[in-house]
Structure 1
Amino acid sequence: MMAMTTQGTADIADTSPASGRAGRHLGRAATVFLATGLLLIALNLRIGVASVSPVIRYIQDALGLTSTTAGLLSTLPVLCFGIFAFLTPWLVRRIGIDRLLAVVLVVLAVAIATRLIDGSPALFIGTVFVGAAIAVGNVVLPAAIKQHFVARTGLMMSLYSMTLYIGAALASGLTVPLMHAFDGDWQAALAIWSIPAAVALLVWLPRLWTTRRASRRSGTETAVSQADSAETASVADVVPERDEPSFSRLIRDRTALAVTGFMGLQSLSYYAGLAWVPTILTDHGMSSSTAGLMLSYSSFPALASALLVPILANRVSVRWIPAAMAVGLTALALVGLVVAPVSGAIAWMTLLGLGQGAALSLALSYIVWRAPDARHTAHLSTMAQGVGYLVAALGPFLVGALHSVTGGWQIPLAVLIVLLIPELVAGVIASRNRHVLTPVTTE
């Protein structure tokens, strides 16, 4: 969900001659090592958020938080995803891709480790830094993949998406067992997830040393940073301003609004579920360990649908059918959670995973399909991710607030079901074979 901004900027990186030479000159061992480093970074881009929801009830009890306040633990990172989507190009220009990814890992490791500190302030401050680091990683990592793997972009992006789901599944499935292993210490169970970030940093550091040596051989370290920045910065840096598909124009375009709306609403549904599904299940009598495993399990059907739906979308004659399928599967899952949350949990988690995985895949694909060229893709990506995640941040908070007011889960789930209607409308419009800011209909 979080890779939207870089889809366009990575396309710019993809066309760089320097990027192509770098990719061709990598030896096999260096290529494997670089790919391993990038995928280990990807593994950490969901852990800091997905690990919280299975133990959120324990956090509430320990800190005396209301459901509304606890919902902020899931809302704040998503809010950061939107805010930092607009700031990341500036960071790339100042630091460069490789160094910025190292900074992401350092911030993630430290921020997750601060969950060992007692008290609500440390928990919430750490959560903000977790969200900021993940947001930057979401933007930069796909660009790095396209920069270094010009001939294998498709394969690496597939592995990247798969690794995101694996990270979420591991965090949601293992946090409660880890808590029990630590004698009920939820802080230790959350803080231990700083270890994967530290491991990824250790694997990534040789890449920085290699880059620095290459910079010295070329006679200027600044040139490397500038090259990285040029390849991944906002398209405003590489095309004349008069040719820009500006935000003010995109925000008035129906197709761009539909793509952004679909991204935002499907993300809202996803993060609301990520934050509260385990609590919904435990409140109906399921053990916390099993509830976490149920959420973890949903990642696997999501992975399958995310891989298959783009293929289906290119083969069906009625273009809005995949969007309708994604929304319909999610609706069935949410209705099931209202009617029989525990007895049908496996079925509902299967449907939820299939629906949300398909919706995410479509949201990513619409960015590419509805943009006529790389610079439009960059700007549409920034708009869809920045605005979309700001909308998505309402999901966990809204569900938590409604639960606090009503004392049950029927109304919050009903609201999520109702919000699927505008998501479907946005999906239907985004499915039309029309580029943003142009009547051209070729893809």
Structure 2
Amino acid sequence: MTLSHPSRFASSAFLLLGVLLIAISLRSPITGVGPLLDAIRAELHLSATQAGMLTTLPLLAFAFFSPVASKIGAKRGLEQGLMLSLLFILTGLVVRSLGSTSALFIGTVVIGAGIAFANVLLPSLMKRDFPTRITTMTSMYVLMMGAGSAMSASLAIPLTEMANQLSITVIPSWAFALGALVIFPLIAIIVWLPQMRNHTAPSQDTQAFDSHSYLWRNASAWQITLFLALNSFLMYIFISWLPTILVDSGFSHHEAGVIHGVLQLFTAVPALVLIPFMNKFNDKRLLSLSLTLMALIGIIGLIVKPEFAMIWGMLFGFGAGGGFIVALALISLRTTSAQQAATLSGMAQFLGYLLAATGPMIIGELHELTANWQIPLMLCAFCAVLWSVFSVFAAKDELITPSEHDTPAPLVENLS
């Protein structure tokens, strides 16, 4: 009997370690591209729009592969589904690093599919296995995503320099830097292997839910969706283009990579600061508005005083990261059931990723037309103002309920 408790503790600790290692792999493959965009464009002769697609394609994959992920999780179990996610990410990283244009884009799509699977399955696993520590697990999960982002963004340029010093010519130096990221999913796969002995289904909330189709006609649901969508739209623009903006403003590639990494790290800081105190804010409107205004100040600062980019990057990262956490919290706080929350989450994330996918391409095309970054950044500032407006409406302290004309569909069980 005394041996069973240490055994259960060790099993939970190993499961937690596996979850955190998966989390590191979910944003680092995307954020590592930004500091290398100039080198990739020069080597492969990509237009600004094509370069923006490197950030756009994973977002499109997030939107379109998510339904597939839930079916795989229900049929094969969470453990096998998450292993498949890691294998996709690993394969995509290898293919993307072969050095050709076709491999670059094909690998990026495969990476996006792998990340989409984990985006859907990990929250269900945490709800199933850590039901009394969801808030703590969420903060750790977001923090590790931010840490992975910061490491990949900060190490991108040093890894290209290492490739040049080692005289690696089999693949371009930028491909070596992107390929080095395989270390994250590779370690996660090794740690996750013991979990493959299990074959368990997602939580019941994932398998059975009302259609709640009335949400698509509900103003409050659209306010939350647009709050999350504009957050993602701005965040992925900066993930994609900030290093190039900084280099064009006079920073070295190394300095731009470090600032980009700091921004990524600061998107994770709110996970430590906000989540433990989230329940203390009965009215979330002031909190959400403050975060969006913080990001707006960061954007305006880049336009007016780009020499202080480190400060503006910190402000934008904290505001965008905090806004993302608040948006996810509002999905739970403003819904009346787990089933309604699942439907709203699907609506918000599907449309949010679709809008976010357009951001890097729009900014890249606008930069190419205007030959400067002032107008693209002014567009970002305008979107941040809209984001601030929707933050106030989205964070209202009232539940989303159907009108008298809207009757939710009956509960449908997934019997597969």
Partner of 2:192: 204
- Between the aligned partners of 1:26 and 1:365, the Cα distance in structure 2 is 34
Secondary structure of the residue aligned to 1:90 is: helix
Secondary structure of the residue aligned to 1:192 is: helix
Q: With CA pairs under 8 Å and 6+ residues apart, which has the higher RCO, 1 or 2?
A: 1
Matched, 1:189 2:170: no
1:18-97 residue pairs with structure 2 within 5 A? 27-97=8-78
1:42-441 residue pairs with structure 2 within 5 A? 42-183=23-164, 185-209=173-197, 211=198, 224-225=199-200, 228-229=201-202, 231=204, 233-236=206-209, 244-246=210-212, 248-310=213-275, 314-315=279-280, 319-341=284-306, 343-438=307-402
- Between the aligned partners of 2:192 and 2:278, the Cα distance in structure 1 is 37
* TM-score using structure 2 length: 0.90
CA RMSD of superposed structures (Å): 2.0
C-alpha contact 1:85 1:385 (8 A) present in aligned 2: no
Deviation sequence 1:221-262 (CA, Å, 0-9, x none): xxx45xx146363433xxxxxxx242x311111111111111
2:338 partner amino acid: A
1:188 partner amino acid: F
- Between the aligned partners of 1:150 and 1:175, the Cα distance in structure 2 is 37
- Between the aligned partners of 1:365 and 1:397, the Cα distance in structure 2 is 29
Deviation sequence 1:110-164 (CA, Å, 0-9, x none): 1101123232111001101111111111111121122122233222222111111
* TM-score using structure 1 length: 0.84
- Between the aligned partners of 1:188 and 1:232, the Cα distance in structure 2 is 42
2:44 partner amino acid: L
Runs (4 or more) in structure 1 with deviation over 4 Å come to: 310-318
- Between the aligned partners of 1:45 and 1:162, the Cα distance in structure 2 is 12
- Between the aligned partners of 2:73 and 2:118, the Cα distance in structure 1 is 11
2:391 partner amino acid: G
C-alpha contact 1:92 1:233 (8 A) present in aligned 2: no
* 1:315–1:205 Cα change, 3 Å: closer
C-alpha contact 1:313 1:322 (8 A) present in aligned 2: no
Partner of 1:9: none
User: Offset at 1:280?
Assistant: 0.3
2:231 partner amino acid: Q
- Between the aligned partners of 2:73 and 2:321, the Cα distance in structure 1 is 29
- Between the aligned partners of 1:293 and 1:118, the Cα distance in structure 2 is 24
2:250 partner amino acid: G
Secondary structure of the residue aligned to 2:401 is: coil
C-alpha contact 2:229 2:353 (8 A) present in aligned 1: yes
1:205 partner amino acid: L
User: Offset at 1:432?
Assistant: 0.8
- Between the aligned partners of 2:56 and 2:252, the Cα distance in structure 1 is 24
Deviation sequence 1:278-303 (CA, Å, 0-9, x none): 11001112111111110111233333
Structure 1 stretches of 5 or more lacking a match?
A: 1-23, 212-223, 237-243
Deviation sequence 1:321-378 (CA, Å, 0-9, x none): 112211211111111111222x211211121112112211111111111111111111
State the aligned residue count.
393
Secondary structure of the residue aligned to 2:377 is: helix
- Between the aligned partners of 2:275 and 2:288, the Cα distance in structure 1 is 11
Secondary structure of the residue aligned to 1:59 is: helix
User: Offset at 1:310?
Assistant: 4.9
Secondary structure of the residue aligned to 2:379 is: helix
- Between the aligned partners of 1:286 and 1:364, the Cα distance in structure 2 is 35
The worse-fitting range, judged by mean Cα deviation, of 315-324 and 395-404 is 315-324
C-alpha contact 2:230 2:387 (8 A) present in aligned 1: yes
C-alpha contact 2:33 2:240 (8 A) present in aligned 1: yes
C-alpha contact 2:206 2:342 (8 A) present in aligned 1: no
- Between the aligned partners of 1:276 and 1:61, the Cα distance in structure 2 is 15
1:327 partner amino acid: T
